Amino acid sequence: MSLDTATRERIQSLLDTHRVVLFMKGDRHQPMCGFSAAAISALNDVLDEYHTVNVLEDPEIREGIKVFGDWPTIPQLYVEGELVGGSDIVRQMYASGQLHELFGAEVPDRTPPEITVTDKAADAIREGMGNAQGMALHLNIGADHSAGFQLAPAGDHDIVSVANGIEIHLDPGSAQRARGIVIDWVETMQGAGLSLRFPGAAEVHDLSVAELKARLDAGDITVVDVRPADQRALAPFPGARSLQDEGEAAFANLPKDTPLAFLCHHGVSSRGVAEHFAAHGFTQVHNVTGGIDAWSQEIDDSVPRY
């Protein structure tokens, strides 16, 4: 496939204008694929400013950048006009410290963090990994304290903490944010899973949709909808504030004792955001159990399920 002159000149102009450019799906605030999200997570830990290009909004750039750098996949990172690589390379450079060196950032502390794993969590992890031969348990904690576990092969540059007989693999940023956390196993009506508790953070309280309705009727709680725009448009929650639209800065100046209820599709991703707010000093933090789906089933069936 050849690259037309106009598209080549547009790409070159972007590279000439910005020192660091990430061609990706989505943008820095809302990546639209896991590979783009992984690249963004690494860059956010190292750089305050960089430029992103959403290839989903520009078919010519989406196909043209693959020809321009002779690289077949998205995302692609360019620094000073030179192709660095895709998501895997960016993550490998981040884990090894090479990305920090590239941008003149301080090389991260690689001391394994002290982590507590409760007995229930340890038992559940061992059971879940029983057939996962050759896999390691990875914990990723973003700059916003959103967290997720993943089974994947161990990396050469992983930082490894051992707690209650469980090995936990972390990247440099996650290792810093994991210091003093407690990993527990929680059970709710919607299911069971691992949870994180950050040191010094207020407890995140589970809030059923019936309890949420009572609190809303009393006018003493603010609902924060953490879902992306397409899901909110499909099944809106009237009166909720949007974290995506307003940005975290809009909430930073609220009194720390403001009652907040975080809402997502099923109550899973919202818990991570709730934990983040609790870790940043908010003392009345709630997670809506079952999310908008439970609200539709139990409170208001006019809200579409999806």
The catalytic site residues sit at 264
What is the rounded distance in angstroms from the CA atom of residue 51 to the CA atom of residue 61? 15
For residue 119, give every residue at least 6 positions away whose Cβ sits within 8 Å of its Cβ, in sequence order, or none. Answer: 164
Nearest C-alpha neighbor of 165 from the set 194, 131, 111, 123: 123
What is the rounded distance in angstroms from the CA atom of residue 74 to the CA atom of residue 95? 20
Q: Which pair of structure tokens corresponds to residue 302?
A: 């006019």
Nearest C-alpha neighbor of 272 from the set 189, 222, 204: 204
What is the rounded distance in angstroms from the CA atom of residue 67 to the CA atom of residue 81? 15
Half-sphere exposure of 27 (CA within 13 A, CB side): 6
Q: Which pair of structure tokens corresponds to residue 171?
A: 């990247």
What is the rounded distance in angstroms from the CA atom of residue 131 to the CA atom of residue 294? 33
173 three-class SS: helix
11 three-class SS: helix
Long-range contacts of 236-239 (CB under 8 A, 24+ apart): 236/303, 237/263, 237/292, 237/295, 237/303
